Structure 1
């Protein structure tokens, strides 16, 4: 059987896109090894050979994992190596020079993402972003394929060598069957699911509760881990005296279960450059769960919401406007139900992983030919 080696030095081994989508889809046709951050050295999961890497909090130690990955990929005997992190670009070039077929999977528009990195001094961001964009474009010449999450990211690369595989959510049949669109709750649950960073508008979501009418009792569920401890403390302090549940990190299945029981899905990211053209996976998961959405009023996001008639858009920097969007949905239960049904239908027909799995498998078939 033909062999594939998937590698990441940043993401956990069971990352949704890397393991649950790509690795599982490929394992139906190929022998798959996956190397990622894990607290173990090896185990076999769903027919996939998973090898763990240590997690280093100090950035200067990360090259140790790059060296491990070089040795492991050569030892694997895999014909195709699929890597997921920009820090592995030099390793990808080395592997290509050693005769491997190499795929670079680009999860973000990294040049735009650099512009909003808080750890990088503001005066350096444009320069670093421009340098990285040039390096990434030149490096891509070495690779057999570049896989981009969005058409916007794909536009950074040479047209013939890039394929767009969108990050649409998995279909979880039994949970999706449980979706009920009439959710007449005594307390309405507003939910955000995902990694919690300042630029994802978490503080504004909490503050928006102050502007909601008391005729609609609500609670805000924040599901996911915090990007840093200082921000976690800030949100904990802000949540005092407000009906906010900080549920922390849960499994993907548990997160979907919480969404299915909620009233409104919230996705109010700040207008950071990388967010404006992003295709947020969580929006489509909210649709799958039958949730009407309150989303940031970015042109790309507005188009998705309006075309599918599945929610409202708001100014994500204004808690009062976020509350206005929430209030509109709470005041109109029939419309809320209709929007939930519309989003759910769009998810089943278009916005799910099965449509992208076909593109992934076709890409590999061409590489192995």
Structure 2
């Protein structure tokens, strides 16, 4: 195992490389994991990737972030299918709808054939674009010579496993942690083809047995992973909970004000939805409810206000005559988000029924909770059960506009009734913090690297002394 001395003369630290298949900035779980591990004394480099022109790097607390450029167009479509699309559509052989139908039977035949021929190795033929992550990130991992690799989400699992295998072949012992962010069999395919899901399922099945430990986002998902992969050790659950310490702007001033950005005063009822927007998130049901909620405003805290689906929602609000009550608000740093959201009256989670929606307490659920907002959530299983048990909000039938109106009216009529769930000795909030999850992650790293845990202690103590 290789340890490098800190440039400031501090104790050497065990190297952790975290991997993620995105540009890092919009992924709060990954950011929190990297930052908290570095704060605990581990030498953390977070490697991401994005379609950018050149590498980007920055510090995230004591963790280093590097986002590597992915060149070219998205890969993954076998050349035979691309050729078929060209012949049937570009050359005018068939209308687009008929071409899609023709393409589908060929894709299903491909899946059946390669499964028979190669079993779980079939992803190499069905989703060859996965090799792009290997070619991009593999050399960077090898150069960093980690003691532990933490692979976030399903695409990074194989990249991390192969890097650990190369290190072991070179005589270095490297531990591999897989962080399962979602239940892949219940995920919505990222591309419209019949190969995507079976290819990625095969990819995960091939590499899960090589992980030294698995972590995931909920107890329900932990159960599913044990069942699907015959895990001998139950995954460690790290909830997508927020950091409770404030992260103030560098100038020491207050963070952004949600109501000010929306142009509404304290007396105006304000609903908030924070996070990614897509049809399955159910925000169209909220827009449809606004005409029956006179005087109520809606804040949409979104990463890209110019995205096509966001424009579609705004256009729908305009047709209903409520566009003046819908406000697009940009993201704020995740450390400021809880305080930012607390200015609203109700936190919304109107998501549709979908397997992954049923099993998780999602990030915004905890963010709303720490903002002490009453929550109005659709009747997806885990979150609905939690809200009913705690009394922190109301549950409505997914996609049912009238029932959403009922739930919002109930909360606005007596908000203190729901906020009381966050107070007193029975409050769930102490266990719903990232700090509590970070302790579990640190304990897992120490168990996997017992010989190096002391170095993390030494470095953390030195940093704390220097900070005083």
Q: Which of the five TM-score ranges fits, normalised by the shorter chain?
A: 0.7 to 0.9
C-alpha distance in structure 1 between counterparts of 2:366 and 2:246, whole Å: 15
> Would you say the 8 A contact 1:310–1:343 is kept in 2?
no
Check the 8 A contact 1:11/1:37 in 2, yes or no. Answer: yes
8 Å contact from structure 1 (residues 8, 85) kept in 2: yes
2:308 aligned residue (224, 230, 237): 230
Q: Say whether 1:82 aligns with 2:150.
A: yes
Cα RMSD (Å) of the superposition?
2.9
What displacement does 1:341 show?
4.4
The Cα of 1:91 is off from its aligned counterpart by 1.8
Could you report, residue by residue, the CA deviation over 1:19-40 in whole angstroms, capped at 9, with x for unpaired residues?
2234333442211111124764
The verdict on how the C-alpha distance between 1:323 and 1:366 changes in structure 2, with shifts beyond 3 A counting, is same
Match of 1:20 among 18, 26, 32: 32
Indicate conservation of the 8 Å contact 1:148/1:163, yes or no: yes
Count of residue pairs the alignment pairs up: 353
Asked if the contact 1:23/1:34 (under 8 Å) is kept, the reply is no
Deviates more, 1:199-208 or 1:20-29: 20-29
Which residue number corresponds to residue 181 of structure 1?
A: none
Taking structure 1 as reference, are residues 320 and 339 closer, same or farther at Cα in structure 2, changes over 3 Å only?
farther
Q: Corresponding residue for 1:105? A: 179
String of CA shifts for 1:266-309, please: whole Å, max 9, x gaps.
Answer: 01100011101122121111110110010111231122112211
3-state DSSP class of the match of 2:428? helix
CA distance in 1, matches of 2:277, 2:162: 35
**Is 1:266–1:293's contact at 8 Å kept on the other side of the alignment?**
yes
Unaligned runs of 5+ in 2: 1-12, 76-128, 169-173, 249-254, 256-264, 451-468
Who wins on radius of gyration, i.e. which is larger? 2
The equivalences for 1:257-296 within 5 A come to 257-296=339-378
TM-score (norm 2): 0.69
In structure 2, how many angstroms separate the alpha carbons of the residues matched to 1:106 and 1:167? Answer: 12
| Pair 36,273 (structure 1): closer, same or farther in 2 beyond 3 Å | same
Shift of 1:14: 6.5
Which of 331, 343, 346 matches 1:249?
331
Residue number in structure 1 paired with 2:85 = none
Q: Does 1:6 align with 2:28?
A: no
What does residue 432 of structure 2 align with? Answer: 351
Tell whether the 8 Å contact from 1:103 to 1:145 is kept in structure 2 after alignment. yes
Asked if structure 1 preserves the Cα contact closer than 8 Å seen for 2:153 and 2:180, the reply is yes
Corresponding residue for residue 142 of structure 1: 210
CA distance in 2, matches of 1:276, 1:130: 21
CA contact (8 A) 2:217 2:238 kept: yes
CA distance in 2, matches of 1:12, 1:280: 18
Q: 2:242 aligns with which of 165, 169, 172?
A: 169
Instruction: Determine the structure 2 residue equivalent to 1:368.
Output: 449
**Larger CA deviation: 270-279 vs 241-250:** 241-250
Task: Please tell me whether residue 36 in structure 1 is matched to residue 48 in structure 2.
Answer: yes
Cα contact 2:379–2:395 (8 A) shared by 1: yes
Residues 51/128 of structure 1: CA separation in 2 closer, same or farther (3 Å cut):
closer
2:402 matches 1:320: yes
- The answer to whether the 8 A contact 1:3-1:78 is kept is yes
Q: 1:10 aligns to what SS in structure 2?
A: coil
Closer, same or farther: CA 151–338 of 1 in aligned 2, 3 Å: closer
- Alpha-carbon distance change, 270 to 299 in structure 1, aligned in 2, over 3 angstroms: same
Contact preservation (8 Å) 2:305, 2:328: no
SS of residue paired to 1:283: helix
Task: State the distance in 2 between where 1:27 and 1:319 align.
Answer: 45
Q: After superposition, where does 1:334-345 map in structure 2 within 5 Å?
A: 334-339=416-421, 341=423, 345=427
Provide Cα deviations, 1:28-60, integer angstroms capped at 9, x if missing partner: 221111112476433334222222212568322
Note the 1:212-231 alignment, pairs <5 A.
212=293, 214=294, 217-225=295-303, 229-231=307-309
| Deviates most, 52-61 or 337-346 | 337-346
> TM-score w.r.t. structure 1 length?
0.86
Instruction: Give the match for residue 91 of structure 1.
Output: 159
Query: Measured at CA, do residues 320 and 83 of structure 1 come closer, stay the same or move farther in structure 2, by a change above 3 Å?
Result: same
For residues 157-182 of structure 1, the C-alpha deviation after alignment (integer angstroms, 9 at most, x for no partner) is 3041632222222113488xx9xxxx
1:9/1:244 CA distance change after superposition, 3 Å: same
The verdict on how the C-alpha distance between 1:105 and 1:322 changes in structure 2, with shifts beyond 3 A counting, is same
Does 2:385 align with 1:329? Answer: no
